[in-house]
Amino acid sequence: MEKWEKEGVGADQDWSSLILIRVFTTLEDVPERKLVGYVLVIEPAREDPKYKMPGGHKQAGENPLETAVRETFGETGLALDIAAFTYVNSLWITPRSGKDHWSCLFAVDVTETQARGMHERHEENEGEEPELISVDRFYERSE
């Protein structure tokens, strides 16, 4: 049984997956490893564009992890192995749209080199543009 199933997320329910993409100098466990920033996406065509984590709703037959992998690729162009993703937590949410669903959070680490390969040219991309946000800039924006 997957961790999200233990928390009540079932195949017959709706969910979205959100992905926290952390960018490091290296993925090796060495003293030089440093957190560089985070990958966020923005929809510049929106009236009031805001940065957000990549993510989206499930497609038929997917589990939350598969949704996370597909959405990461679709919104950022990062083709990452499913084993690189770590499940963090799930929350039952009621968004403004009024459609209650589970929101499953995953984390994945990438290198600066991988992050330089980001693009928004995937067919599933709905206008999101990925951007590497430095740690300093991230915390400036969150204040």
For residue 6, which phi and psi values (nearest 5 degrees)?
A: -65, -25
The lowest-confidence range among 22-26, 51-55, 58-62, 134-138 is 58-62
Q: Greater confidence, 50 or 15?
A: 50
**Most confident range, picked from 10-14, 25-29, 103-107:** 103-107
* Alpha-carbon dihedral angle through residues 38, 55, 129, 135, given to the nearest 10 degrees: -10
Query: pLDDT at residue 58 above 80?
Result: yes
